[in-house]
Amino acid sequence: MMAENHHSWKGVLLKNEPMARYTSWRVGGMADIFYQPADIDDLANFLRESDYSLPLTWLGLGSNLLVRDGGIRGIVIHVLSGMKNISLLEGTLVRVEVGVPSARVARFCANNNLCGAEFLAGIPGLFGGALKMNAGAFGSETWQIVDSVEMIDRHGNLIQRSVDDFTVDYRSVQCPTDEWFVAANIRLKPGRSGESKSRVRNLLEKRNESQPVGTANAGSVFKNPPGDFAARLIESCGLKGMRMGGAVVSDKHANFIINNGAASAADIEALILHIQKVVAEKTGVELQTEVHIIGEAVND
């Protein structure tokens, strides 16, 4: 794939790495090639020297992701370890790399007397995932504060882009083809540190009260349909506590599926499809998944 002895990259390269170690559902088969870049420049070097024909998959906290039991072909880029710089550029502009946890962005902004990023405390994954899907919580969305973004392409070129280069909707962002987020500048408002900090604390508490924190789950499985809540629909169909293999619909929040320790990715996917079928039959609503399902199924 690449000349191992003359490479200019310095991150961690692993072969046949089990994805269950890197997803919050604790399931998933092997990634053929798994790379943890040391920083953005290192990622650029790695991509330049990699086989361009191999597909790329990007992974952060793995908190909104179902990797099938057959694993992932090509290269997985794991941004968690190396791309986690956050800095105050000037006044109210903050540069955030994709490996920074969303809750850390909320705290950093609050500590710097900036308001507008508190809602990120309610988002479980990394900032890169929040950017990719326009994640939101408590009535605010990520792209409401995005000022500009830094992308990287398959050949390791870094590209600066404005917000106008993207089509942003509820929980979805259309990106230029074969480009991926590496950082963004977010624009905030001057605020009072104490007020922002207490709001961040309250949001974290609220998230912990309403969601089954401490279990192996991937956050909200389904998008809320217009004017309704996925959890309400699932509960109204009597599906709380429903299980398939080791996957079970949470008793605490019906839009969460928990791996009780023995689930395969196939169990979780079967439960997702079952919920969609029952909800469609009983309510006429076609639930769309918010979690991304990737990789290959194991053929029986």
**Max CA-CA distance within the chain?**
60
Which residue, 62, 78, 94, sits at the end of a domain? 78
CATH number at residue 49: 3.30.43.10
pLDDT at residue 8, rounded to an integer? 81
pLDDT at residue 282, rounded to an integer? 96
Average pLDDT over residues 197-213: 70
Kindly state whether residues 173 and 193 are assigned to the same domain.
Answer: yes
Which residue, 26, 47, 78, sits at the end of a domain? 78
pLDDT level of residue 1 (50, 70, 90 thresholds): very low
Residue 224 lies in a domain: no
Kindly state whether residues 98 and 173 are assigned to the same domain.
Answer: yes
Residue 53 known to be catalytic: no
pLDDT at residue 279, rounded to an integer? 97
**CB distance 261 to 246 below 8 Å:** yes
- Tokens read off for 141: 């969305």
Neighbours of 152 (CB within 10 A): 22
**Catalytic annotation, pick one of 63, 220, 250, 264:** 220
pLDDT level of residue 212 (50, 70, 90 thresholds): low
Average pLDDT over residues 267-274: 97
Q: Determine the Cα–Cα distance for residues 124 and 126; give it in Å rounded to an integer.
A: 7
Which residue, 210, 239, 269, sits at the end of a domain? 210
pLDDT level of residue 3 (50, 70, 90 thresholds): very low
Phi, psi dihedrals of residue 176, rounded to the nearest 5°:
-55, 145
Q: Closest Cα partner for 233 from 255, 263, 208?
A: 255
Question: CB-based contacts of 295: which residues, under 8 Å, 6+ apart?
Answer: 19, 28, 29, 67, 68, 69, 70, 71, 72, 265
Q: Determine the Cα–Cα distance for residues 206 and 141; give it in Å rounded to an integer.
A: 17
Question: CB-based contacts of 227: which residues, under 8 Å, 6+ apart?
Answer: none
Q: Angle at Cα 144 formed by Cα 139 and Cα 147, nearest 5°? A: 160
Q: Which residue has the tokens 């290269």?
A: 75
pLDDT at residue 208, rounded to an integer? 65
pLDDT level of residue 205 (50, 70, 90 thresholds): confident
Residue 74 lies in a domain: yes
- Tokens read off for 218: 């991937």
Residue 221 lies in a domain: no
Helices (H), the chain: 40-49, 102-111, 127-133, 193-210, 230-236, 265-283
The tens digit of pLDDT for each residue in 117-134 reads: 988 988 878 899 899 888
The mean pLDDT value of the chain amounts to 89
- Tokens read off for 265: 């990715």
**CB distance 80 to 87 below 8 Å:** no
Residue 67 lies in a domain: yes
Average pLDDT over residues 232-248: 96
Question: CB-based contacts of 224: which residues, under 8 Å, 6+ apart?
Answer: 230
Write the DSSP symbol of residue 297: P
Kindly state whether residues 238 and 197 are assigned to the same domain.
Answer: no
Residue 225 lies in a domain: no
Least trusted range by pLDDT, from 145-154, 203-212, 269-278: 203-212
Kindly state whether residues 14 and 62 are assigned to the same domain.
Answer: yes
**CB distance 134 to 70 below 8 Å:** no
Q: What is the pTM of this model?
A: 0.85
**CB distance 103 to 115 below 8 Å:** no
How many domains does the chain fold into? 3
Domain that holds residue 179: 86-210
The tens digit of pLDDT for each residue in 27-81 reads: 999 999 999 999 999 999 999 999 999 999 999 888 889 999 999 999 999 988 8
pLDDT at residue 135, rounded to an integer? 83
**Catalytic annotation, pick one of 17, 97, 141, 290:** 290
CATH number at residue 91: 3.30.465.10
Q: Is the pLDDT at 296 greater than 60, yes or no?
A: yes
Q: Determine the Cα–Cα distance for residues 65 and 22; give it in Å rounded to an integer.
A: 10
Residue 220 known to be catalytic: yes
Kindly state whether residues 18 and 119 are assigned to the same domain.
Answer: no
| Side chain identity at residue 91, one-letter code | G
- Tokens read off for 116: 């507008």
Kindly state whether residues 72 and 119 are assigned to the same domain.
Answer: no
Q: Which residue has the higher pLDDT, 19 or 3?
A: 19
Residue 216 lies in a domain: no
Kindly state whether residues 114 and 58 are assigned to the same domain.
Answer: no
Q: Closest Cα partner for 218 from 38, 108, 61, 112?
A: 61
Q: Is the pLDDT at 156 greater than 70, yes or no?
A: yes
CATH number at residue 272: 3.90.78.10
| Side chain identity at residue 138, one-letter code | F
**Catalytic annotation, pick one of 95, 161, 171, 243:** 171
